[in-house]
A and B are shown apart, each in its own frame.
Chain A
Amino acid sequence: MADVGWWVVPVAVLGGALRVSTPFLFVSLGECITERSGRINLGLEGILVMGAMCAYGTSYLTGSPWLGVLAAGAAGALLGLVHATVCGLPRVNDIAVGIALMLFGTGLAFYLGKPLIEPSAKILPAIDFGWWSDVPQVRAALQINVLFLIGVALAPMLVWALATTRWGMILRTVGESADAARAMGYSVNGVRARATMLGGFLGGIGGSFLSLYYPGSWNEGLSSGQGITAVALVIFARWNPMLCFWASLLFGGAAALGPALQSIGVNQGYYLFNAAPYILTLVIMILTCSPKRTLIGAPAELSITK
């Protein structure tokens, strides 16, 4: 095998971007929808973990990873419903509910998932996009999972849906001004509930990717804050689904940077490389926010902007 040089790093980062970004992609797209309706769901971390567990368990019990993906989505939607119901009560703070859901979802997933750590479930297949290359590294990097492709298609679809469809308009109205939406006869809580459930559905699917493709097994350390990071991602992607897509790729690549650098001999400070995605988020947020122009494009009803 040819000796690999430094170029293995960009290839690994690309591969990482394609692999690791998918959970970020789904969770951020889901949260985008939720936040556009004027509600913030920090419980996505719990939904992600719960989705991962359900997917793995279902795949193990039924032998079909795709059923697992659906089960994960259903679990996510259910938890989203819990979030929406509690938040729908007057005087309830949606940030606090999100944190509560994070605890509950994670705890429930660990509790139910105990028997799933040992067995091996069937995982999702990948499509080989690198068939044109005979360099193994490139081929490996371009092994793309179907979920990623779905996510890639979903992003522009959401942009279009939000801008042109009636559903999108209702969603945005509820997010910009609850009073206006009520005046038009829409149930604000109902729309938000549906948006949160849809967000939970996508978040659960993002979790299923973790357990059914990459890293491809279930254990209690599976998520390292991806759910929370995805929420931050939505904010600096300005609630624009296409920007969420690019930001997810950036994050995925940043996560792969550390190990890739080590493999070519750059060994210093690998903890700081591990923290790269978080530092990146913070820096980008500092650079792009400003107290006067803060959160342009933010749904006006979102509690964090008020």
Chain B
Amino acid sequence: MTSQISRRHVLQGTAAGAAMLPVRMAFAADTVVGFIYVGSRDDYGYNQAHAVGAAALKKMPGIKVVEEEKVPETEAVEKSMESMINLDGTTLLFPTSYGYFSPHVLKTANKYPKVRFEHAGGLWTDKDPKNVGSYFGYIDEAQHVAGIVAGATSKTGKLGFVAAKPIPQLLRNVNAFMLGAKLANPNATLQVIFTGDWSMPVKEAEATNSLIDAGVDVVTCHVDGPKTVMENAARRGAMISSYHVNAAPLAPEAHLTGAEWNWEVLYPRFVKMFTSGENIPNFYRGGLKEELVKVAPYGPKVSEAARKQADDIKAKLAAGNYVIFKGPLKDNKGNVVIAAGVERPQTDPELEKMNYLLEGVIGATS
């Protein structure tokens, strides 16, 4: 960022940190922030969560938001970004899909060093351009808490997970959910079915039905648009735990809790940092403590005891003194994946390479 120190414009609000950092001239005109979604903005899931964050920005004074949706992870996104930069004067970009990062965001960032690119989910290293940042939320913390609730409330002890593809970010959610469920019920099992892609409603419905046929009575998922899974599970009489977006409006009686994004807190935070000239860290991660993710309110079927247990862990996570992935942990093939005495806190890069399913999870990654 530029190191022009000018006192012409002083920030409102806390300037404690800002006073010590190089302050760029605040923008007289609107700052234009661009959002790019890989899917539909109202998919009741991943993209919608980002759009809710973008909507929070629209309420901020001096900020203009431009959005494009259904942009595929090809050259098209490079052109979209360039179009936003050249034609709209965008200076801060949020390309929100994982697959945009390499090579598209990196290429475009090298071409436009003065524009800031904040990418959701990418793994920035210091070989990457400095005007790129990657951020993500440890939503597995929320899934962990949701797992506790699910394990405590399930009558059969069998939980189900409809998954898209076996990538590390997803497997982390599965495993965190399992560990949470085991805290409430050490004999709980979690069955995973992979549909193969991020948005396949018929396959997701079939997977949900297969899980329930196999005896599952609490269903959660990690797909781009969870609505199909949630509605089909509720129709079969199972309980649901939502993901990405709170699904309680779809089936209030069956809804237990859920893991949600909290982008509407993060994005204003980023924008304020950006407009005040403060450096946004290139690698930004956070969980419940940094308020990047949240746990949905508990539904009517969640017992007092379950709520207490979940709240207890939630508080510990928010305070930052609880480790989900600590050894000894075995995968479901019997190998030790985290040795005894080893603790992997959320920021541990080993977790970003997760490729196993823990003991108690029924399913295979390939």
Contact = CB atoms under 8 A, between A and B. Distances in A.
Nearest to B235: A216
B44 interface: yes
Interface string A6-28: 00100110011001100000000
Interface string B28-49: 0000000000011011100000
A117 interface: yes
Contacts of A141: 213
Contacts of B225: 219, 221
Contacts of A215: 201-202, 204-205, 228, 231-232
Given A114-B42, A219-B40, A263 B366 contact: no
Contacts of A11: 213
Interface string A206-222: 00001000111101111
Interface string A104-117: 00000000001101
User: Across chains A and B, which 3 residue pairs bring their CB atoms closest together, nearest first?
Assistant: A215-B205, A267-B364, A263-B210
A8 B212 CA distance: 11
Nearest to B211: A263
Interface of B: 39-40, 42-44, 156, 158, 191, 193-196, 199-207, 209-215, 225, 227-228, 231-232, 235-236, 249-250, 362-364, 366
A1 interface: yes
B194 A262 contact: yes
A276 to B, nearest CB: 12
A260 B196 CA distance: 14
A221 B40 CA distance: 10
B115 to A, nearest CB: 29
Interface size class of A (residues with CB under 8 A): 35 or more
Interface of A: 1, 3-4, 8, 11-12, 15-16, 19-20, 114-115, 117-118, 120, 136-137, 140-141, 210, 214-217, 219-222, 224, 255-256, 258-260, 262-265, 267-268, 270-271, 274
B213 A217 contact: no
Given A219-B43, A271-B196, A259 B250 contact: no
Pick from A15, A140, A214, A264 the residue with the most CB of B within 10 Å: A214
A305 B40 CA distance: 40
Nearest to A137: B213
A166 to B, nearest CB: 40
Contact of B40 (A8, A12, A117, A267): A117
Given A215-B228, A216-B228, A263-B213, A118 B44 contact: yes
